[in-house]
Chains A and B, each alone.
Chain A
Amino acid sequence: MKFDSPATTNPIDRGRVIGIPHDRIDGAAKVTGTAPYAYERHDAAPNAVYGWIVGSAIAKGRISAMDLRAAQAAPGVLGIVTHQNAGPLGKGDMNTAHLLGGPQIEHYEQAVALVIADTLENARDAARLVRIDYAPDKGRFDLAAERDRAAPPSGGFGGPADTRVGDFDGAFAKAAVKIDQSYTTPDQSHAMLEPHATTASWNGDRLTLWTANQMVAWNVGEIATTLKIPKENVRIVAPFIGGGFGAKLFLRADALLAALGARQVGRPVKVALARPQIPNNTTHRPATIQRIRIGADSNGVIDAIAHEVWSGDLPGGGAETAAQQTRLLYRGANRLTAHRLAVLDLPEGNAMRAPGEAVGLLALEAAMDELAEACGVDPVELRIRNDVQYDPEAGPQRPFSSRKLVECLRLGAERFGWNRRNPKPGQVRDGRWRIGMGVATAFRNNLVMKSGARIGVDAGGRVIVETDMTDIGTGSYTILAQTAAEMLGVPLDAVTVRLGDSRFPVSAGSGGQWGANSSTAGVYAAAAALRTKLAEKAGFPADKALFEDGLVRLGNQSQPLAQLAGREGLWAEDSMDYGDLAKRYAQATFGAHFCEVGVDIDTAEVRIRRMGGAFAAGRILNPKSARSQVIGAMTMGAGAALMEELVVDKRFGFFVNHDMAEYLVPVHADIPEQDVLFVEELDDKSSPMKAKGVGELGICGAGAAVANAIYNATGIRLRDYPLTIDRILGASSGHRVA
């Protein structure tokens, strides 16, 4: 099915199952431990043995010698994979560094060996006995030091490296009010609960990977390329995934080494990364340096806006596209964005939840707070004044498909009690706490991706959906079941959803907050095809038949789905493909974050007291799981504002705090009341679902609202994230905070 003109009324609009806050249908399996995760596929590979990855002890250089004898002689050891015996390997298009290093070392903790043994303990112990001599090279580990050597990046998801509209320099020079500030954000780790994990098994030349991966079809190709085998010989199975946040978009060392290990020892091998290996072995969100300049008139109306971003990555890597929202968010005839990429020899940077916007808005929305103050305009009002209903680079001929930023700001402000905020910083006390409120805009692009599914009715009238879509904790199972139930007029519990198997039709996968809208649209397409088949079989004109109560109806005639399906069942497969609506209309999701913090007057401890937000993201398919996505993302935003940082040792070139005792993410005690309001919106240009993504919107801007609240509480403006106690104390005059 092709979606190339705005949606009209369709069965989804009935809203009998779609739009209802259903519990997740896979919830019981998860909480009873019966949902099979990649490392626990005893059912599928009962005789699997254990692999343990040995990571490089240097960041850059060469392996000069490897001595495996002691490890090979250790109890239970079955084999050791290294670059010397792995055979010729390719590299996937989406990997920057090689997943198996050696003799060249590209980053710290790069996998250089896999030790396979009969037990996890034996594998881990023997891994300690692998002797490796290194010849280290000097590396580049300091983004600030490499900034001047950074160059425009090529390609990637973020659009062109440079954009220019009008005459930024001229307009900025003439502006009545000018903001010119630099901000920094650190490297961050996804810190999802389930580590990267894979069980691999060969049957002749055919490989099966039970793996924790967000993108099944991508990675069939990536592993085939890396192993130099035909794609047809690879099956990936990923029905349950314990969080991803982008960490599991790509082929990683667990999957490749499990496959190589299984080939070497002739039986299934499973490999999970140990928690302390993850930050340096896998990908992370790269650090940024960002400069923002805004020129406005005395009422805060923007005439010139510029956002420049520097980030770093390994040679051949990509940039953190933190300026992308600035191309679309606010008005202004004179605009400039630029991304520059430095070469760093730190571990590989790549996508983490809302790549670009998540850190871009930490800077832009803090700068908007500074502009509001400079103009003496309320920060909510400032954003409303600078709203624009079309792509401000392209002009009015490219309107937004739907854009309810102003509604989000107004409704959110009212609900939060924004009018109780004192605009003058440092004025509100509650015991030992200084209290402040902050606001920030939420913005995240809406991407649509081709997505397919197969749907059938069996002889018992049960509806079955099959697609290689993944559920990374987001609720895909439930919304896909809701879509099928709505389309075919059956109750939710009459639907079985099977996900994450490369034998199923290729879906959009989970990433870039495109998963929910795109994959349900794929099920919509397949279900529409099945409706036609069922109606034809019933002898009804397909466009007149009604699907409800498990029946196909026409007037007062009806036939049960089960009967039409017959003993063989009836199946249909289709995918949703997209025309040029995303070109003709700018598509994005919007919201407004509000935050109230307390800052201890003596110790500078920051405590979030309330978070609230209003969000417009098209049709909300399941308000319960959507709310969970948003509050989880707001929590991640709070982490980015207050604590999350992979700390770089610039001598050895690695992230020092590589475990969850030292890489802090918020705990329950950090996150109090979170209020989420979904502003009603249907986006008929996004898909027949009229939905948009929502899984990443909640992180976008959340941290800036926290930072702006800290400023309102204390009068201290910090521009280097995270905003930790030492930084606040360092910025406070005298001994007390503000």
Chain B
Amino acid sequence: MKPFTYSRPASVEEAAKAAAATQGARFIAGGTNLLDLMKLQIETPSHLIDVNHLGLDRIEKTEEGGLRIGALVRNTDLAADKAVRRDYAVLSRALLAGASGQLRNKATTGGNLLQRTRCPYFYDTRMPCNKRQPGSGCGAMKGISRSLAILGTSDACIAQHPSDMAVALRLLDASVETVGADGGRRAIPIADFHTLPGATPHVETALKPGELITAVTLPRPLGGTHVYRKVRDRASYAFALVSVAAIFGGDGKARFAFGGIAAKPWRVAEADAAASRGARAVAEAALAGATPTAQNAFKQQLTAQTLASIYRQKEA
């Protein structure tokens, strides 16, 4: 681990300003991803800005009838929140499908949005990886790619986004509130928050240097039946091969978001529009433009089958 300095600013504005002003600075919240990456020398920040004590740990109603979730709300607390369980059950279910109890106790809402890929080549500093070391190439594309993305990839990177929580937030049309280095505040729609790899896979979000996530807001509850179905290689504590977040309305309409198969939490308007035509139609729309490798082509069938399972259970 590279030696680093540490500070604990008194306000979010101060934190953002310090982050922009300090070369090699990173925010630290729960640290469940960052500290691991630092030990592996994949992340080598020279300075950590601790945002754990900035009062960003509340869940409150918004004037619009939605929910405002502080960036430091722990995954465990968010999943257990009464309003979340009642009105945004898909979020609660997605959270509980992720990581382990111990990790969820530490992991935060803002940090989870920023968690990095599980691509094994990203995790070995001796291997080529454009995301870890821009320009070094991609070890995965012609290597071991079973767990990686089939959608939203580029010639530079086929890493998958590993978050469960973010898939539910994408489904719920959340927006990400931030404060910038200049003290300015903005709200970034979740659809725009994560960026596709393109030629710059090391850039993963729309955040500007120093910009700090302060909250995630959810619009008014949608009602309906909430589903989060995660399919993985063991029963718990594993990343998704495929995950599907869905909300079924009473009117035959539904919306879907997908995890484990794409470079970012994946949502396609055409898939929602196909809801009434059944699982197969939804899958076809969602998977349009997929570019799988031989090793992860099964994710297409598995996505369709997971949707089929969801439809079957809904009907049962």
- In whole angstroms, what is the CA distance A276 to B122 when docked? 13
Is B231 touching A605 in the complex (CB atoms < 8 A)? yes
B127 within 8 A of A: yes
Q: Is the CB of B124 within 8 A of A642?
A: no
* Residues of chain B from 236 to 259 with CB closer than 8 A to chain A in the complex: 236-239, 241
A125 touches B2 (CB 8 A): yes
**For B309, what are the chain A residues with a Cβ–Cβ distance below 8 Å?**
432, 600-603
Q: How far is the CB of A114 from chain B (nearest CB, A)?
A: 17
Q: In the assembled complex, which residues on chain B have CB atoms less than 8 Å from the CB atom of A666?
A: 234
B22 on the A face (CB < 8 A): no
Are A656 and B144 in contact, with the CB atoms below 8 A?
yes
Chain B residues closer than 8 Å to A726, beta-carbon distance:
146, 241, 298, 302
The answer on a CB contact under 8 Å between A649 and B238 is no
Say yes or no for B5: interface residue by CB 8 A criterion.
no
A664 near B238: Cβ-Cβ < 8 Å: yes
Question: Would you give the shortest CB distance from B45 to chain A, in whole angstroms?
Answer: 13
CB neighbours (8 Å) of B305 from chain A are 602-604, 729, 735-736
Q: Is the interface of B mostly helix, strand, loop or mixed?
A: loop
Q: How far is the CB of A323 from chain B (nearest CB, A)?
A: 29
> Does A675 lie at the interface of the complex (its beta carbon under 8 Å from any beta carbon of B)?
no
A31 contacts B by Cβ under 8 Å: no
- Contact with B312, one of A276, A432, A652, A656 (Cβ below 8 angstroms): A432
* Contact of A725 (CB < 8 Å), options: B2, B121, B236, B241: B241
Report the minimal beta-carbon distance from B235 to chain A, rounded to whole angstroms. 4
Find B301's partner among A121, A431, A649, A729 (CB 8 Å cutoff).
A729
Q: Contact: B1 with A121, CB < 8 Å?
A: yes
The docked-state distance in angstroms from the alpha carbon of A366 to that of B309 is 30
Asked whether, in the complex, the Cβ of A656 is within 8 Å of the Cβ of B143, the reply is yes
Range for the number of chain B residues in contact with chain A: 35 or more
Q: Considering the chains assembled together, what is the distance between the CA atoms of A532 and B306 in angstroms? A: 71
A600 to chain B, nearest CB (A): 7
A75 touches B3 (CB 8 A): yes
Question: Which chain A residue lies CB-closest to B126?
Answer: A57
B118 within 8 A of A: yes
Chain A 696-738 near chain B by CB (<8 Å), digits 1 or 0: 0000000000000000000000000000111001100001100
Instruction: Let me know if B20 is at the binding interface, CB within 8 A.
Output: no
B residues less than 8 Å from A75 (CB atoms): 3
A607 at the B interface (CB under 8 A): yes
Would you call A658 an interface residue if the criterion is a C-beta within 8 Å of the partner chain's C-beta atoms? Answer: yes
B113 to chain A, nearest CB (A): 19
Once the chains bind, are A124 and B124 in contact (CB under 8 Å)?
A: no
Are B237 and A667 in contact (CB-based, < 8 A)?
yes
Known: A124-B1, A602-B306, A666-B234. A735 touches B301 (CB 8 A): yes
Nearest-Cβ distance from residue A699 to partner chain B, whole angstroms: 18
* B204 CB to nearest chain A CB (Å): 19
Q: Mark B281-316, 1 if CB is under 8 A from A, else 0.
A: 000000000000000001001101110110011001
Interface: B134 (CB within 8 A): no
Which residues of chain A have C-beta atoms less than 8 A from B306's C-beta? 602-603
For residue A651, CB closer than 8 A to chain B, the reply is yes
Asked if B11 lies at the interface with its beta carbon under 8 angstroms from chain A, I say no
Residues in A neighbouring B235, C-beta threshold 8 A: 607, 667, 669-670
Assess whether B1 is in contact with A602, with CB atoms less than 8 Å apart.
no
B304→A657 contact, CB < 8 A:
no
**Partner among A643, A649, A659, A670 whose Cβ is within 8 Å of the Cβ of B144:** A649
Bin chain A's interface residue count.
35 or more
Given A432-B313, A603-B306, also A652-B127 (CB < 8 A): yes
Judged by a CB distance under 8 angstroms, whether A567 is at the interface is no
Q: Which residues in B have their C-beta under 8 angstroms from that of A57?
A: 126
Rounded to whole Å, the gap between the CB of B306 and the closest CB of chain A is 6
Bound-complex Cα distance A124 to B38 (A): 11
Dominant SS at the A interface? Answer: loop
Instruction: With both chains docked as a complex, state the minimum distance between the C-beta of A111 and any C-beta of chain B, in angstroms.
Output: 14
Output the least CB separation between A543 and chain B (Å): 58
User: Which among A601, A603, A666 has the greatest number of chain B C-beta atoms within 10 A?
Assistant: A603
Query: Measured between alpha carbons, how far is A666 from B237 in the docked complex, in Å?
Result: 10
**Complex contacts, A149 vs chain B, CB 8 Å:** none
Known interface pairs A432-B312, A725-B231; A667-B1 also in contact (CB < 8 Å): no
Is the C-beta of B64 less than 8 angstroms from some C-beta in chain A? no
A607 CA / B235 CA spacing, docked (Å): 8
Known: A661-B118, A729-B302. A276 touches B123 (CB 8 A): yes
- The answer to whether A670 touches B1 (Cβ under 8 A) is no
Assess whether A603 is in contact with B231, with CB atoms less than 8 Å apart.
yes
CB of A652 to closest CB in B, whole Å: 7
Q: Using Cβ atoms and an 8 Å threshold, which residues of chain B touch A128?
A: 2, 41
> Smallest CB–CB gap between B254 and chain A, Å?
17
In-complex Cβ contact of A667 among B126, B236, B302 (8 A): B236
Q: Is the CB of A643 within 8 A of B298?
A: no
Give the distance in Å from the alpha carbon of A643 to the alpha carbon of B147 in the complex: 13
Does B40 count as interface, using CB distance less than 8 angstroms?
A: yes
Task: Let me know if B233 is at the binding interface, CB within 8 A.
Answer: yes
Known: A649-B144, A726-B146. A602 touches B234 (CB 8 A): no
Are A662 and B118 CB-contacts (below 8 A) given A57-B126, A128-B41, A735-B304?
yes
Q: Is B189 an interface residue (CB 8 A)?
A: no
Shortest CB–CB separation between residue B6 and chain A, in angstroms? 13
Bound-complex Cα distance A647 to B298 (A): 17
Residue of A nearest to B303 (CB): A603
The answer, yes or no, to whether B120 is at the interface (CB within 8 Å) is: yes
Q: Do A730 and B298 touch (CB < 8 A)?
A: yes
Residues of A within 8 Å of B146, CB to CB, are 647, 726
Interface string of A569-611 (1 = CB under 8 A from B): 0000000000000000000000000000000111111010000
Instruction: Give the nearest-CB partner of B231 in chain A.
Output: A603
A642-B234 CB under 8 A given contacts A662-B120, A729-B305: yes
Closest chain-A Cβ to B193's Cβ sits at a distance in Å of 24
Tell me if B236 and A670 are in contact (CB < 8 A).
Answer: yes
Shortest Cβ distance from A598 into chain B, in angstroms? 11
Q: Is B58 an interface residue (CB 8 A)?
A: no
A668 interfacial contact with B, CB 8 Å: yes
Is B277 positioned at the interface, with any CB of A under 8 Å from its CB?
no
Smallest CB separation, B81 vs chain A (Å): 24
Query: In the complex, what residues of B have CB within 8 A of residue A647's CB?
Result: 144, 146
Q: Is B85 an interface residue (CB 8 A)?
A: no
Residue contact B301 to A276, C-beta cutoff 8 Å:
no
A658 to B239, CA, bound (A): 15
**Are B234 and A656 within 8 A (Cβ)?**
no
Interface readout for A195-217 with B: 1 if CB under 8 Å, 0 if not?
Answer: 00000000000000000000000
Jot down 6 A-B pairs with beta carbons below 8 A, ordered by A.
Answer: A125-B1, A649-B143, A651-B142, A656-B120, A666-B234, A668-B236
Starting from the known contacts A124-B1, A276-B124, A602-B308, 7 additional A-B residue pairs (CB-CB under 8 Å) come to: A122-B3, A657-B120, A662-B147, A666-B234, A667-B234, A669-B234, A725-B298
Nearest 4 CB-CB pairings of A with B: A669-B235, A602-B309, A669-B236, A726-B298
